[in-house]
Amino acid sequence: FFYFPETHGISFRIQISVKEVLDTDVLLNLLFHLPVNYPSTVPDISVNSDQLTRAQCMDVREKLLEQAKKHLSEPMVHDLILWVQQHLKDVIKQSATVCNEKTTLSKGTEDGIWMLLLHLDHMRAKAKYVKTVEKWASNLRLTGRLMFMGKIILILLQGDRSSIKEYLILQKTSKVDVDSSGKKCKEKMMRVLCETELQSQHKRFQTFEVKEYSAPEELQREFETAGLPTLFSEFVPPLLK
């Protein structure tokens, strides 16, 4: 349980396992934030699960909030948990038809195309490093861009979620660069800026390319062409400072 001062109400996290959803147990993490005037106000709820897509988690959250409104002015957390245990199957089924069979649910989040944006601090052995990244992308059938702009180095990848995860492991555990004394070293200065499922408005990259940009505007255009203007505006400007 996480308690916050009186002024903010109370937040707590509950993990439940829901049986028999497509023959597998689904582990749901529910975070409830009860405002000070709960239960005359509905709690804020967030839903996470490794077995569900982000869209499905959002659907579950919306349905829970709808249920919460029906229970106004009476303690409701327990009822909401019971409700989700009984109805999770239906919510997931509905969200499957809505997203037009794009993700088959048997594998949960492993399906669908995912996107990853990484920021690297530097590359000392640039030529070797670039070759390694190209080889990994090719082996894992990932498309996207390795982008250089001034001192900024970004890697944008698209592909199966399992391949994206595999790439992250390689990037963190392989000796990809050299340290200041020329010894081979692992990448310690990498940040994952964003990891998310590809939405319909995003365009798929057909190839993996290494590109150099001379100005932020050029970099921005690359993101915009890919239908990713918000990804640029959210993550890149802080790096330019």
Which of 43, 68, 96 is the C-terminal boundary of a domain?
96
Q: Is 202 inside any structural domain?
A: yes
Looking at the structure, tell me whether residues 233 and 120 fall in a common domain: yes
Q: Is 34 inside any structural domain?
A: yes
Rounding to the nearest 10 degrees, give the CA dihedral for residues 202, 208, 213, 217: 0
Structure tokens at 228: 């990713």
Q: Is 3 inside any structural domain?
A: no
Looking at the structure, tell me whether residues 227 and 135 fall in a common domain: yes
Looking at the structure, tell me whether residues 15 and 119 fall in a common domain: no
Looking at the structure, tell me whether residues 144 and 55 fall in a common domain: no
Looking at the structure, tell me whether residues 68 and 16 fall in a common domain: yes
Question: What is the full per-residue pLDDT of the chain (241 aa) written as tens digits?
Answer: 444 444 567 888 888 888 755 567 788 899 988 888 888 988 989 998 888 888 889 889 999 999 999 999 998 999 999 999 888 888 877 665 554 333 333 334 445 789 999 999 999 999 999 999 999 999 999 999 999 999 999 999 999 988 998 999 899 889 998 888 899 988 888 888 888 888 877 888 999 999 999 999 999 999 999 888 888 988 899 888 7
- List, in order, residues 6 or more apart from 94 with CB less than 8 Å away: 59
Q: Is 4 inside any structural domain?
A: no
Q: Is 20 inside any structural domain?
A: yes
- Which domain does 164 fall in, by range? 113-239
Q: Is 174 inside any structural domain?
A: yes
Q: What pLDDT, on the 0 to 100 scale, is given for residue 144?
A: 96
Q: Is 235 inside any structural domain?
A: yes
Looking up residue 52, the CATH number of its domain turns out to be 3.10.110.10
Which of 68, 96, 124 is the C-terminal boundary of a domain?
96
Backbone Cα Rg of the chain: 22
Q: In degrees, to the nearest 5, what angle opens at C-alpha 135 toward C-alphas 130 and 141?
A: 125
Looking at the structure, tell me whether residues 132 and 214 fall in a common domain: yes
Looking at the structure, tell me whether residues 64 and 144 fall in a common domain: no
Looking up residue 187, the CATH number of its domain turns out to be 3.30.70.100
Q: Is 101 inside any structural domain?
A: no
Structure tokens at 21: 């959803």
DSSP the chain: -EE--GGG-EEEEEEEEEEEETTEEEEEEEEEEE-TTTTSSPPEEEEE-TTS-HHHHHHHHHHHHHHHHHTTTS--HHHHHHHHHHHHHHHHHHHHHHTTTSS-GGGGGGSSEEEEEEEES--SSHHHHHHHHHHHHHHTT-EEEEEEETTEEEEEEEEEHHHHHHHHHHHHHSEEEE-TTS-EEE--SEEEEEEEEPPTTSPPPSSEEEEEESSHHHHHHHHHHTT-HHHHHHHSHHHH-
Q: What pLDDT, on the 0 to 100 scale, is given for residue 51?
A: 81
Which of 96, 122, 150 is the C-terminal boundary of a domain?
96
Looking at the structure, tell me whether residues 135 and 209 fall in a common domain: yes
Domain count, the chain: 2
Report the alpha-carbon distance of residue 90 to residue 162 in Å, rounded. Answer: 26
User: Do residues 197 and 191 lie in contact, with contact meaning Cβ atoms separated by under 8 Å?
Assistant: no
Q: What pLDDT, on the 0 to 100 scale, is given for residue 96?
A: 56
Looking at the structure, tell me whether residues 73 and 154 fall in a common domain: no
Q: What pLDDT, on the 0 to 100 scale, is given for residue 148?
A: 96
Looking at the structure, tell me whether residues 90 and 122 fall in a common domain: no
Beta bridge partners of 191: 119
Looking at the structure, tell me whether residues 92 and 126 fall in a common domain: no
Looking at the structure, tell me whether residues 171 and 232 fall in a common domain: yes
Chain centroid to CA 128: how far?
29
